[in-house]
Structure formats: C-alpha cells, structure tokens
Structure 1
Amino acid sequence: MFGYHLFLLYRYLRLPHTTVIGFENNDKKAWVERIMQVDNKDVGTAVTVITSNISAATNLATISLTLCSLIGAWVANNSKIFQSELIYGDTRASTMSIKYIGLLICFLLAFSCFVQSSRSFIHANYLISTPDTDIPVEYVELAVIRGGDFWSLGLRALYFATTLLLWFFGPIPMFATSVSMVFLLHLLDTNTTPLHPHRSLRKQKQPVKRVEEQVTGVAMSVEYLER
C-alpha cells in the first residue's frame, strides 16, 4: 500500500494527466475560470457546489473523530477480543498496542485532512462570493485544488485504516486486503482520457455571430438596391 501510494505521488507530480486526480484538477481549473467570469449575482451555483463539498468533508471528519474516540475507549477498557486463540498471528500486548496506535494514527490523519479540506473550500467560498473585487483566478484555483487534495489524502488514510483494521485478525487478511486494494486503487486512479482544453463557448460563437451579421447586412443592402 505504501509503495503504491509513493508511485501514485510520483505520477501525480510528474505525469498528472495519467491520474484521475490530475484529470479532475484540470476540470476544476476550468470550472473556476468560468465561474469567475460570471456576474456576482450568478455565483449561487458555485457557492452551492462548494458548500456540498464542505458538508461532505465535515461529515467524514466527524466520522473519523468518532472512530478515534471508540478506539481510545477500546484501548482504555483493555479489551482482549483480538487476543484469543482463534486469531492467527502475534497477539502479545505490545503487538496489539502497535496495532491500536497505527489504526488511531490513520483515523487522526484522516480527521486532520478532512478538516483542512473544509478549511480550503470555505476559503474558496469566500473568494468566489466576494462582490466587486479583482481577485486573481489563480487564488481560487489554488484553494479549490488544495481542498480536493486534502480530501484525497483523507480518503487514503481511511484506506490504510481499513487495512490495519484487518491486521487485528492476522497478517494473512491484512496482506490479502492490501493486494486487493492496490489492484482496485490502480484501476480507479489510472486515467486514459485525454485532458479536455475547455474552450469558452462564447469565443466559438463570436465568429458565427459575425458571419450572421455580415449576411444580414448584405441582405439588407440587396433589398435596398432592389427598391
């Protein structure tokens, strides 16, 4: 799992068009550019989109923090469910402590990433909804993309937590889950669709309008000459 994510990070930094994250970031940049071109009274849709992302990140942050609390309570009660003879592998107290700490770290990391994702989206919401301003588009793009990156990191932390959770049942379930998850994530993270240039439709319609105006002008001239 860790090696795969290092490979994914390399692809994201060097070859972003080959990853789904880079593909989505390209669409987000185009979305921000179009949103910043509309009037302030028409940014309601953009604010709604950002608000939905904030709600999703907040909900996942709440779930992660709740799971952290449950793990803490479990450790405090000295539960011996995973130390029975039915569990294959090392069930010593020191090993179980390492498992608990690793799982707790993953959930805390997920909580932190989702909170930072909400923070970035809230900042983007402020920038988009600011009236009568000349805020650069790059600032809004940075906030939106940063929020998406923290969202992805939070999900990856939950994926790691799932693998560590199965470690409590022994090394074999953890290994099988790791291999299956790497294979599945590779399919989901790989992008083969070319990046769309996202050209403005207004610019494409301008030549057509000019041709229509010229045709209309010629027709009016012909009618005038016939009279």
Structure 2
Amino acid sequence: MVIYHLWLLYRILHHPTKTVLGINTINRRIWVQTMMENTSKNGILAVQTLRNNIMASTLMATTAIMLSSVIAVLMTNSSLRGQDYALGGNSELGLSIKMFSILVCFLLSFLLYVQSIRYYSHANILINVPVGKIGLGTEYVSRAMNRGSYFWSLGLRAYYFSFPLIMWVFGAVPMVSCSFLMVFLLYFLDVYSGSDRREAVVTVEEMC
C-alpha cells in the first residue's frame, strides 16, 4: 500500500486531471472563486457547505479517538496477553507490536482530522470576506479549503491502512491478502479515466 500511495502522489502532482483528488482540488478552487464573487448572495451556501465538512471531520475524529481508546484497553488487558490466535500464533511481544501499530494509525487519523477542522474553520471565516478587501484574494481561501480536504483524505487513508494491520493480528497471509484487495479497490476510487477529462485539462490551462 505504501508503494501504491507513492505512485498516487506522483500522479496527483504531475497528472492531476487523471486522479479524483486532483480534479476535486481544481473544482474546489473554482467553487471558492464562484462563492467569493458575490458573498451577499452565496455566503449562506458557502458557510453551510463548510459547516457540513467540519461536522464530517468531527465525526471521523471522534470515531478515531474512540477506536484508539478501544485498542488501548485491549493492549492493557492482561487476559489477552500471550493469547494464541488461530492464524497468527502471536507471542506477547508480537501481539503488542501489532496492536500498537493499529493504535498509531487511529491516533494519526485523529490528528489529521483535527487539522482538517482547523483549515475548514479558517476557510469558513475567510470565504465571506469581499474579494476587494482581502490582500491575497481567492487563492489564499481556496488553498485553506484544499488543505482541509487534503488532511481529510489523509485521515481517511490512515483508516484504510488500519485494515491490513488489523488482519496482521491473524497472520501474515490475511494481511497481504487484505493489502492487495485494498490496493485494487483504491485504484478504482482514485484514478479517473472519464471521457470528459479533456474539459478538465482545458480548465487547468485557463486557470494557469
């Protein structure tokens, strides 16, 4: 999965119109520009949209910290130490390492969603400032919103990484199988090959 995400990062940076994340970044920038062209008319819509994003990030952050608490309780439960799983055959140390890896994933996801809330909150205030009264224009606001979305995506990726680690508790074979399955599914979620890609390319050229 690490290799896949490095490949995905390369595609996003060099071929953004071929990835869903890249296209969404372009569209969010256009959306911010449209909202700020007439703040008196579009202000309520913009605030409600960002509020929905903040609520979604809050829900995911709450879920992540709750799962972290569950994993921490399992790690400190003496009755589970040294337990021999059917497929894993884990020692006490091996099981602790695996549970700690899962805990790190959920804690990282929590921190990423907190950062997402932070940037969405900044954008929520700045998006209603008239364009003529802000020194950096719409670019600064769209960058804040895109950063919030980036942290949202990274938080979700931390959730995705936890699935192979959970399967690792039961052994290496389930972990590898889950990793290949996750890469297969994520490829279809991340890569865009629609017929209207040419329109997205034209949009990028116009914005540049």
Q: TM-score, normalised by structure 2?
A: 0.89
Alignment of 1:1-227 (within 5 A): 1-80=1-80, 83-84=83-84, 86-130=85-129, 133-135=133-135, 136-193=137-194, 194=197, 195=200
Once the 2 structures are TM-superposed, how far is the Cα of residue 130 of structure 1 from its aligned partner? 3.4
The whole-number CA distance in structure 1 between the counterparts of 2:188 and 2:176 is: 19
Structure (1 or 2) with the larger CA radius of gyration: 1
For the aligned residue pairs, the C-alpha RMSD in angstroms reads 1.9
1:154–1:82 CA distance, 2 compared to 1 (3 A): farther
Once the 2 structures are TM-superposed, how far is the Cα of residue 41 of structure 1 from its aligned partner? 5.0
The whole-number CA distance in structure 1 between the counterparts of 2:18 and 2:79 is: 45
The whole-number CA distance in structure 2 between the counterparts of 1:79 and 1:107 is: 23
- Whether the aligned pair in 1 keeps the contact of 2:74 and 2:80 (CA below 8 Å) is no
The whole-number CA distance in structure 2 between the counterparts of 1:6 and 1:82 is: 36
Once the 2 structures are TM-superposed, how far is the Cα of residue 90 of structure 1 from its aligned partner? 4.0
Map of 2:206 onto structure 1: none
Once the 2 structures are TM-superposed, how far is the Cα of residue 93 of structure 1 from its aligned partner? 1.1
SS of match in other structure, 2:37 = coil
1:196–1:12 CA distance, 2 compared to 1 (3 A): closer
The whole-number CA distance in structure 2 between the counterparts of 1:79 and 1:8 is: 42
- Whether the aligned pair in 2 keeps the contact of 1:82 and 1:168 (CA below 8 Å) is no
Letter in 2 for 1:103: I
The whole-number CA distance in structure 2 between the counterparts of 1:82 and 1:189 is: 40
Map of 1:213 onto structure 2: none
Aligned pairs, number: 198
Map of 1:208 onto structure 2: none
1:18–1:33 CA distance, 2 compared to 1 (3 A): same
Letter in 1 for 2:6: L
Question: Gaps (5+ residues) in structure 2?
Answer: 204-208
Q: TM-score, normalised by structure 1?
A: 0.82
Map of 1:223 onto structure 2: none
The whole-number CA distance in structure 2 between the counterparts of 1:41 and 1:72 is: 49
The whole-number CA distance in structure 1 between the counterparts of 2:42 and 2:161 is: 41
Question: Gaps (5+ residues) in structure 1?
Answer: 199-227
Letter in 2 for 1:122: S
How high is the sequence identity, in percent, across the aligned residues? 41
The whole-number CA distance in structure 1 between the counterparts of 2:172 and 2:52 is: 39
